A and B are shown apart, each in its own frame.
Chain A
Amino acid sequence: MAIDRSQLLHVAHLARLELRDDELERLGAQLNDIIGAVSKVSELDLADVPPTSHPLDVVNVWGADEPRASLPVDEALANAPEREGNYFKVPPGGS
């Protein structure tokens, strides 16, 4: 099943990716090829098979709720593209 341009733009928006026109064309065609190839999984009738989300039989690891040291503020902000005081600074709005 083919993914058209408007669907591709919708998916790209969900993923917060601005795609240039040349990318829309190239990646759109490749995306269709890839989705076509992976659709092979739908050949199997797996109604009775449970899904696997994780390959190990571990469940709920609990830790004690104890305070411990964390990064100093300056280190936490060391890689910030933009900083103001003790905050990460970003442009306003736009969701």
Chain B
Amino acid sequence: MLDTLRLTAEEAARLVREKEITGAELFAAYRAAIDERDPELHCYLHVCEDEGGDGIPIAVKDVIGTKGIPTTAGSKILEGYRPVYDATVIERCRAHGLRILGKTNTDEFAMGSSTENSAYGPTKNPWDPTRVPGGSGGGSAAAVAAGLAPWALGSDTGGSIKQPAALCGNVGLRPTYGTVSRYGVVAFASSLDQVGPVAKNVRDCAYLYSILAGRDPCDSTTVDLPHAVELPERESLEGLRVGVPTEFTEHEAIEPGVRDAVHRATELMRELGAEVGECSLPNSLEYGVPCYYLIAPAEASSNLARYDSVRYGHRAPHADDRLDMYKRTRDEGFGDEPKRRILVGTYALSAGYYDAYYGQAQKVRTLLIREHKEAFERFDVLATPTSPTVAFALGAKTADPIAMYLNDLLTIPSCMAGLPGLNVPCGLSEGLPVGLQLIGPQFSENTLFRAGYALELALGFDPVPARLAAA
């Protein structure tokens, strides 16, 4: 049987093309890996049968609507829901022949940084199953790391692609806001939500992005890419200006092992020919998380108003009247985290508080955009840690929502600014992956891929979890 642990999508495509394996054997190899390892890891909420063909299999985060295939967003309120149409990103994958392996676990409505907020139980980190895989897209990241999918779709609002990729040791791209359609994707915070690829290496990530990106008439926030996606090939970083925001390496929340691995990666970028210098994003870490935790919940409280049990989703039985039906349905169907965010968002938008909270946060957002723009006058790419820590223990932060929110300290600011960010694994600390976050100006994905690819080759990071490689 084909070993899926190290298999990239590019290599899988070659094996099929050169008739070393059939499309059916390829799909079956992933199903066998899922049967073997997913009972422990719980990456998947639903596994699909092979629909035939030679396309590369793909895992899909369960916030992305798939026609006829259960789509729960990790919530009880959508238990049993089967979309009657495919999200545009699924149509695009299908148009390239990709076959859906299954739907991956997520924090409920993509709200969380550990997948522990999933109503269906947490996903475990393949590097150490006593630890979280990150979130919200922990299922997609863990599936790719454990060889349960060659690549996957994720979604990112404040770090839900980048942070799990960091904690699971794979490559994840949060694309520039507006480059990938959200049509058919369960909405969380619409001025932030982006769909993007998770992969074992930078070239696969870039290729999957090329399939996903482009304007969609069904999502009026999407735009045409200003230039085609280029698969990275060059090993040199000659001419690339890399900025290291000092606040992002000096912050007290950053573990020494993470800081060291990221420092070694930026030094390596210098050896590869890049000019590396320091810069400053003074407001990003001070005000990024508070700004995000007003704007995202405000938008969530509006988006989640649709779960009223009229057209789809869970409905509380025996309601006295419609108001009673709405209120009890939403109490029964939503877990604690969506409830917290609905309450915070409703409060921040309510009469008398709007200007002080939501309005003020929108102005802070302008500051964050401005200071990133200023940094990009001097630099092509910014390099920071993706997550302040390596994967933490299951249960360590579930009782303290604010401690959980701080996992996204370093990913949130660029998300607020609509900028693309790429996580590239850059080493291990205490045997667990450390992620480097590369941030660029809007539409600079090709630059991020080029930088990430050269670094990936030079680092030679092994993306297979040691405990699985040894097994």
A-to-B contact residues, CB < 8 Å = 3, 8, 11-20, 23, 26-27, 30-31, 33-35, 37-42, 44, 46, 49-56, 58, 61, 63, 71, 75-76, 78-82, 88, 90-95
A31-B340, A53-B191, A88-B311 are known contacts; what are 5 more A-B pairs with Cβ within 8 Å? A8-B343, A17-B330, A51-B366, A52-B365, A81-B309
B-to-A contact residues, CB < 8 Å = 81-82, 84-85, 177-178, 191, 217, 220-221, 223, 283, 286-287, 289-291, 293-294, 301, 305, 308-315, 319-328, 330-331, 334, 336, 339-340, 342-344, 346-348, 350, 356-357, 359-367, 369, 401-402, 405, 416-418, 442
B327 touching A55, Cβ below 8 Å: no
User: What CA separation (Å) do A71 and B325 show in the bound complex?
Assistant: 27
B324 touching A82, Cβ below 8 Å: no
Number of A-B contacts (CB under 8 A): 182
Contacts of A31 in B (CB 8 A): 340, 343-344, 347
A93 touching B321, Cβ below 8 Å: yes
- Of all chain B residues, the one with the shortest Cβ separation from A40 is B290
| Dominant secondary structure of chain B at its interface with chain A | helix
Contacts of A15 in B (CB 8 A): 301, 305, 330, 342-343, 346
B84 touching A78, Cβ below 8 Å: yes
Which of B305, B309, B311, B350 has the most A CB atoms < 10 Å from its CB? B311
Partner of A41, one of B350, B364, B402: B364
B191 touching A54, Cβ below 8 Å: yes
Min CB–CB distance B374 → chain A (angstroms): 14
Given contacts A38-B290, A50-B366, A56-B177, contact A16 B330 (CB under 8 A): yes
B323 touching A94, Cβ below 8 Å: yes
A40 touching B287, Cβ below 8 Å: yes
A41 touching B178, Cβ below 8 Å: no
Contacts of A40 in B (CB 8 A): 286-287, 290
